[in-house]
Structure 1
Amino acid sequence: MDTTGTLDEALQRLHTSGPERIGRLTNHAPMAVEALTANGQAAAVHRWLDLYASRLEEFPSGVEPVTDADWPSALGDPRRAADWIGYFGRELAERPWRDVLTRWWPRLLPGMYGGSTHPVIRVGHAVRTLLAGGDTGPRLTELAHGLGYWAARHHPVRGLVPVPGADSAAAALDAVPAVTARAGGFPDRLHRVRNLPVWAAAVTDPDEAHRRLVELVRAATHRYATHGHGDATMLVHAATAPNAVLRALPALPRVLWVPSVQAAWTASAAVTAMYAPDAPVAYVPPGPVTPGEVFEQAVAHGDEHVIKLADTALDLGDERALAAAVRAVRLSEPLR
């Protein structure tokens, strides 16, 4: 847990900004600064924010307040982002944050594919810092922003046809068929995802669901080391989206763990289908480098996706995960 006060300062600075810019691109700053402080780089937070500041837009205007009576009509409406953030701010002021998360998780989970999966990732970062004991005002407000962004960008995926899968997460990701047309951004490609391999569908035990989710995060992170060139930015989400779900599980009732791993699989597999390269490259070990040194490389590089993948790689800590983070540094454009 950050004890310097830097994270709270950064979040207060960021909560005057909206969750997106130019109508569709995600504001990654709250996620990145949480990753920096969680990995001992609090001293770099404000310097990084100064570089990222030009990508921030003012907090959007509201339309009308979301209420308990009419929330279904506002779900999935990006114009209502400010309304949703205000709603969750009120909820978190009146109820314990775990109760709010538990109530809304099953409502939001089917739509975790909107916003290129960034809303659930933002929630995962917020939950991690709250679970560490930091239930300060700015951190609760950050959870409100994350949940509100998720509700505004809520987008279910329907019409998927299951195809034969595999026993392991790695083999199941290998079996994901690529979409036939690669043009367009995330929403366009998501509509073209039709067939996904079956994996973890028969899981009913919460402990097995947790184990499977750890396996999926590891497999998707490892895969980036050899497949990240398909899209250096977007393929990061095949690992960071399920890891966000994994980070939230300890705050959720065990009955929600099984549907969580199934939704996380769909997200990871869909991203793989949309951005997988035609062929992998040979695996390159990261060399004699420590996890801390890998994260320092990511911080020096500065790209928000590189930082977040390195953050996930450090959760795993093995050689192939570190290799994936080093690969992201080499593939991605640095923050200037």
Structure 2
Amino acid sequence: MDTTGTLDEALQRLHVSGPERLGRLTNHAPMAVEALVANGRAAAVHRWLDLYASRLEEFPAGVEPVTEADWRSALGDPRRAADWIAHFGRELAERPWRDVLTQWWPRLLPGMYGGSTHPVIRVGHAVRTLLADESAGPRLTELAHGLGYWAARHHPVTGLAPVPGADSAAAALDAVPPVAGREGGFPARLGHVRSLPVWAAAVTDPDEAHRRLTELVGAATRRYATHGHGDETMLVHAATAPNAVLRTLPALPRALWVPSLQAAWTASAAVTAMYAPDAPVPYAAPGAVTPEEVFERALAHGDEHVIKLTDTALDVGDERALAAALRAVELCEPLR
């Protein structure tokens, strides 16, 4: 738990900014500062925000209020981001946050692929803060921003043909067929994903879903150490998106754990299909380095994706996960 008040100060500072910039790029600052605080680097938060400030845009204007009667027509409309954030702000002011999350999670889960999976990642960071301290108003506001961004960027993936998978998450990721079209950004490539390996479809037990999701996060994180050069930024999400779902499970009814696993697998596998390289590079052991030292290197580097992948790598906790974080430090452009 953050006892310095820094996280709440930072979130208040950020809530005057919109969830995106330039109409398509995600505002990563709320997620990155939460990761910094969660890993004991609260003292660096405002300095990091000063560096990132040029990438923030003003909060967008609203169009019209979202209501319970017409929310379906506003789902997936990025022009309605402010309307959706305001809607969840009202919801969270009137009801316990877990109740709001439980109602909306199954509504939003099929569309977690919009916004390059950033909305669900933002929600996962927000939920982690609330599980640590439910009393802080800025954290509820952050959940409203995350859910609102998710609703505005809601984008389902349907019609995927199953292909043979594997017993383990690592082998199933290796079996993901690359997409035929690799031009354009995330939305264009996502449209080329036609089939994914079967891996999580047969799971029915919530505890097994939790185990599999944990396995998936570990496999996707470790895989970055040898495959991250396919796209040093986008392949981060193959690990951080399912980890956001994993972090949210304790706040959800067990009945929602199985569909959460299935959606997270689709997200991780789809990102792998869109950005995996033609061939891996040899695994490079990180040597004698502690998790704290790895996170310090991520902070010194400053890139938001490096910070978030390192945050996930520390959750996984083994040598190869730390190697993945250090690989991201090598591959990504530092924040300046």
Work out whether the TM-score is over 0.5. yes
Report deviation, 1:159.
1.3
Structure 1 unaligned residues grouped into runs of 5+? none
Distance 1:55 1:39 in 2: 23
CA displacement at 1:236 relative to structure 2? 0.1
Matching residue of 1:267: 267
SS state at 2:200 partner: coil
1:121 aligns with 2:140: no
Could you say which residue in structure 2 is the equivalent of 1:11? 11
- 1:59 match: secondary structure: coil
Q: Distance in 1 between matches of 2:262 and 2:89?
A: 29
The aligned amino acid for 2:261 is: V
Tell me which amino acid in the other structure corresponds to 2:6. T
| TM-score (normalised: structure 2) | 1.00
Partner residue in 2 for 1:175: 175
Taking the aligned partners of 1:135 and 1:39, their CA distance within structure 2 comes to 20
Secondary structure of the corresponding residue to residue 162 of structure 1 = strand
What is residue 218 of structure 1 aligned with on the other side? 218
CA distance in 2, matches of 1:250, 1:262: 17
Cα distance in 2, alignment partners of residues 135 and 91 from structure 1: 16
1:308 to partner: Cα distance: 0.1
What corresponds to 2:108 in structure 1? 108
Q: Structure 2: how far apart are the matches of 1:145 and 1:62?
A: 14
Q: Does 1:91 align with 2:102?
A: no
1:161 aligns with 2:129: no
Matched AA of 1:279: A
Q: Which whole-Å CA distance do the structure 1 matches of 2:32 and 2:229 have between them? A: 22
Q: Counterpart of 1:21? A: 21
SS at match of 2:162: strand
- Whole-Å separation in 2 of the counterparts to 1:89 and 1:213: 30
Q: Secondary structure at the match of 1:66?
A: coil
Tell me which moved more, 174-183 or 53-62.
174-183
Could you tell me how far apart the structure 2 residues matched to 1:157 and 1:238 are?
16
Q: Secondary structure at the match of 2:16?
A: coil
Per-residue Cα deviation, 1:65-118 (whole angstroms, up to 9, x for no partner): 000111000000000000000000000000000000000000000000000000
Partner SS state of residue 235, structure 1: helix
Q: After TM superposition, list the pairs within 5 Å mapping 1:251-290 onto structure 2.
A: 251-290=251-290
TM-score normalised over the length of structure 1: 1.00
Instruction: Note the C-alpha offset of 1:180.
Output: 1.4
Following the alignment from structure 1 to structure 2, what is the Cα–Cα distance between the partners of residues 208 and 135?
A: 32
Counterpart in the other structure of 1:236: 236
Q: How does 1:248-327 map to 2 (within 5 A)?
A: 248-327=248-327
Q: Residue by residue, what CA displacement relative to the aligned partner does 1:171-208 show, whole Å, maximum 9, x if unpaired?
A: 00000000112110000000000010000110000000
Tell me by how many angstroms 1:135 deviates: 3.2
- Is 2:335 aligned against 1:335? yes
Q: Structure 2: any 5+ residue segments left out of the alignment? A: none
Q: Could you tell me how far apart the structure 2 residues matched to 1:318 and 1:101 are?
A: 31
Aligned to 2:150: 150
Identity score, percent = 87
1:202 aligns with 2:171: no
Measured on the aligned residues, the alpha-carbon RMSD in Å equals 0.4
Once residues 285 and 149 of structure 1 are traced to their aligned partners in structure 2, the CA distance between those partners, rounded to angstroms, is 38
**C-alpha deviations, 1:228-266, integer Å up to 9, x for none?**
000000000000000000000000000000000000000
Structure 1 residue 316 displacement after superposition: 1.0
Q: Deviations over 1:245-293 (max 9, x none)?
A: 0000000000000000000000000000000000000000111000000
Secondary structure in 1 matching 2:144: helix
Return the letter of the residue paired with 2:281. V
Structure 2 distance, partners of 1:206, 1:117, is 23
Amino acid in the other structure paired with 1:120:
V
SS at match of 1:17: coil
Residue 186 of structure 2: aligned partner: 186
Measure, in 1, the Cα distance between the counterparts of 2:202 and 2:177. Answer: 21
1:134 deviates by 4.0
Cα deviation 1:133-164 (Å, max 9, x = unaligned): 24311000000000000000000001110000
